[in-house]
A and B are shown apart, each in its own frame.
Chain A
């Protein structure tokens, strides 16, 4: 007997904030340096060293919290979260416990392809804390020692905790993508999941309809998901796993302690993780080495004011004011900040948003994929794209030949004019073309008769002949002139 169920998902996302130096010391946060070359007494937690908070880290955290619609309390403080781990040299993480710097926000998610209904995901809190180091364990050598690298220790992290508001893996993935879009747009983080500057833990369980009411399965926390795809796959897998487990054991929430599972991307499974011993009792207390931060409504407002237009606003503006379809607007904005800037420049210069959007979402995206390039590496500048759009609009370039021009422009990085010339396109002056039409009509009385008999498409068979005599003939123009001439003949 199988019942229907809902998957309930809450996400805990950690993003590294894009500062030059660490949260509590002045060591570089540069990724990928040689192990233990970016540490100092403070981030090694040496006796006597003291933390001082990085102003920029706090500002970026504040900016983010406001962008995800959080409230900013007037008073916030930092607490010590205590546990022993070799990548945690002080024996505690400096985090925030009962008075986080922000709370009660939200983020709207939707899907251009409408695989799920638009949804507002609640954000419980976002707080600023320091990152731990890395332990490298060479499994191959079995019991060999682990090597600890403290370069990452002390990098500023913003932990963003969502409400359990998502109902499918696709929604969770969309939430992550929207969050990355927003955070990269406001420039607070590069949100690179491979490099770990954006990390995600998911809390997942099922609400199952049973003959005797709804039952919740035990909440499982999934870790080690290192890509958006992984988040989606892991949650899909976990939901099915929990459903199977329910059918076999019918274990409910509360029957067992909350368990942690790790996502194994190659195996495509979540596997039980042994959690750190007694990490349950973190003995949080206010860090006496750091002082509280007070913020006034004025400061918060000035940060909000400086945020500018956010992705969601831009989508709305493009469809409301520039008559892009909601789908186009979504696809375009989801390309991220750089593509959007390129689009805006081309659209404003040419005055044709629709055309600019089509070029970018179709031809340009195709080329970028093929060449695995980013928009700023692309050989056609936004200004040149605008020229192309304008040339077509002014009839200097038949729509039918515009793709050929595009190819020349990006392959041989030509200007539009040059491309048009290369294609041998010159505008044929009307009188010359009228002559040509007359000549061909005289030579083909049958077609003239057909047309007069109402079969206008008969003209089509003359277009080939016309193009033989002059390759620059614009088929549309040729047809129009012929019809005029025939009409005048009667």
Chain B
């Protein structure tokens, strides 16, 4: 099996056994990037030199028998939204085109401590606002399965670089589905942890109460490996959970005895693509065959999730993005006159249309006279959505369903229809609102050759159950082994 095809877990074994060198593995992925990425456009910046230097150093330390990190020698791509003092953090925005953070995000620091080889920074929707990566100020990212189609988003680069075999592991962020949706559309595994499981320190905020960092990989096993490395309590993030992190990789292969699997009635309503529905139902069949008890459940408020999300997320975003005012960092207009004009022009010049739209929406929802009707109302519905889940997880261990209603859509298909773009998040936003973990695993391929994703959700902090449940499925199927043909 080629270096690109083998899983990160397999590579790690070989690295440990000295049968593989970090430099070889890194070089193989760098070569792949140079042949494939000008067509796919997953990376905003690739650090070939730095990556090879780190890989060489790691090989040296391993041979010298020095202590070495958990991911030692594995290439990892990072979404360009997590601060790394070694490079710029642009959030795919003109606003931060030249921003060099003087500090490392906790996740990047943990990756460095684990001796991961950080090979490059992946493309995304500007400030993670979007579901297609078309909102990047710098470039399009194309779906490796069909270059005419979008990879999804906002972590489109993160999903595409794994699907395109340019990185075995990558880090994304998920505020309303931004890891699970592109993972589903690109046929890779993507996990959004429990809110607070992974530190947000150094993650450039979109919607602070919804943002979570998570892994993307080819297999559940690889996702578990990467999650283990980045999870854990962080005193620098007041919302980080002070809870022990299980060693997911050790329990991963233990099937869940007497698994109770919930199917959400509302998830199979109209609007769901037939091929997607078929694959998801087949996946549920696999669980049945493994002896799982399948129960139909209801999440009565889930139909309000998108509306709730599009009040809360833009409200927080309008506030989080107020700091980009051309004074302390980032873009500043050349046409400045008085202070207010300087602000208005700086922000008008450097924010893209979707970012402006959400800032406007959020500022409106929070402004005098509308707060109660929109923001406060949404916070209350949010609790009802959470209570639906609490009730559901009394009856079931995992909830299974589609990630998206349809497979990957054509680039440009929805760019002039914001609302329909927002509705793509239909099945994913609830997990962010409720703070619970969710995973997307490949579960089929359409007649037109596009991947289909199965979403599993678990109770807060039940990542171990989530991963073991997902592994049960992958142990029976090989959808996760399919790769797109070379672009």
Give the interface of A toward B (CB within 8 A): 41, 44-53, 80, 82, 84, 86, 89-92, 148, 150, 277, 280-281, 283-285, 288-291
Known: A86-B339, A92-B322, A289-B238. Contact between A48 and B201, CB under 8 A? yes
B239, A289: Cβ atoms closer than 8 Å: yes
Closest 4 CB pairs of A and B: A91-B322, A288-B209, A288-B208, A283-B366
Q: Which of B296-344 contact A (CB under 8 A)?
A: 315-316, 318-319, 321-323, 325, 327-329, 339-340, 343
Chain A residue contacts of B371, Cβ below 8 A: 283, 285
A89, B327: Cβ atoms closer than 8 Å: yes
A288 to B203, CA, bound (A): 14
A46, A51, A52, A92, most chain B CB atoms within 10 A = A46
A122 to B263, CA, bound (A): 58
A26 to B406, CA, bound (A): 48
Chain B residue contacts of A90, Cβ below 8 A: 322-323
12 inter-chain pairs at a CB distance below 8 angstroms, sorted by A residue, are A47-B99, A48-B101, A48-B203, A49-B103, A50-B236, A82-B366, A84-B322, A84-B325, A89-B327, A284-B366, A285-B319, A288-B209
A48, B105: Cβ atoms closer than 8 Å: yes
A283, B363: Cβ atoms closer than 8 Å: yes
Chain B residue contacts of A277, Cβ below 8 A: 340
CB proximity of B375 to chain A, nearest CB, Å: 6
A288 to B366, CA, bound (A): 14
Known: A45-B323, A52-B238, A288-B209. Contact between A84 and B343, CB under 8 A? yes
Chain A residue contacts of B103, Cβ below 8 A: 41, 46, 49
CB proximity of B475 to chain A, nearest CB, Å: 38
A-B contact count (CB 8 A): 101
Known: A283-B366, A288-B208, A288-B209. Contact between A91 and B323, CB under 8 A? yes
B101, A46: Cβ atoms closer than 8 Å: yes
Q: Is the interface of B mostly helix, strand, loop or mixed?
A: loop
Chain A residue contacts of B322, Cβ below 8 A: 82, 84, 90-92
Chain A residue contacts of B235, Cβ below 8 A: 52
A150 to B235, CA, bound (A): 24
Q: How large is the interface on B (under 10, 10 to 19, 20 to 34, 35 or more residues)?
A: 35 or more
B328, A80: Cβ atoms closer than 8 Å: no
Question: Which residue of B89, B236, B325, B343 contacts A47 across the interface (Cβ within 8 Å)?
Answer: B89
Beta-carbon contacts of B364-378 to A below 8 Å, as 1s and 0s? 001110010001000
For A47, the closest partner residue in chain B by CB is: B204
Q: Which of B85-143 contact A (CB under 8 A)?
A: 89, 91, 96, 99, 101-103, 105
A49 to B102, CA, bound (A): 11
For A283, the closest partner residue in chain B by CB is: B366
Q: Is B79 engaged at the interface, CB distance under 8 Å to the other chain?
A: no
A183 to B253, CA, bound (A): 62
Q: Is B83 engaged at the interface, CB distance under 8 Å to the other chain?
A: yes
A285, B366: Cβ atoms closer than 8 Å: yes
CB proximity of A83 to chain B, nearest CB, Å: 9
For A89, the closest partner residue in chain B by CB is: B328
Could you list 7 further interchain pairs (A-B, Cβ under 8 angstroms) beyond the known A150-B328, A283-B318, A285-B375?
A80-B319, A84-B340, A86-B325, A281-B367, A283-B371, A285-B315, A290-B238
Known: A41-B101, A48-B201, A52-B238. Contact between A86 and B319, CB under 8 A? no
B82, B83, B327, B367, most chain A CB atoms within 10 A = B327
Chain A residue contacts of B321, Cβ below 8 A: 91
Q: Which of B354-369 contact A (CB under 8 A)?
A: 363, 366-368
A280 to B367, CA, bound (A): 10
Q: Is B205 engaged at the interface, CB distance under 8 Å to the other chain?
A: yes
For B316, the closest partner residue in chain A by CB is: A288
A291, B239: Cβ atoms closer than 8 Å: yes
A50, A52, A284, most chain B CB atoms within 10 A = A50
Chain B residue contacts of A49, Cβ below 8 A: 103, 201-202
Known: A86-B327, A285-B375. Contact between A50 and B319, CB under 8 A? no
A84 to B366, CA, bound (A): 16
Chain B residue contacts of A91, Cβ below 8 A: 319, 321-323, 325
B323, A48: Cβ atoms closer than 8 Å: no
Q: Is B192 engaged at the interface, CB distance under 8 Å to the other chain?
A: no
CB proximity of B36 to chain A, nearest CB, Å: 30
A82, B319: Cβ atoms closer than 8 Å: yes
Chain B residue contacts of A45, Cβ below 8 A: 323, 328
B236, A48: Cβ atoms closer than 8 Å: no
CB proximity of A257 to chain B, nearest CB, Å: 15
For A289, the closest partner residue in chain B by CB is: B208
Q: Is B468 engaged at the interface, CB distance under 8 Å to the other chain?
A: no
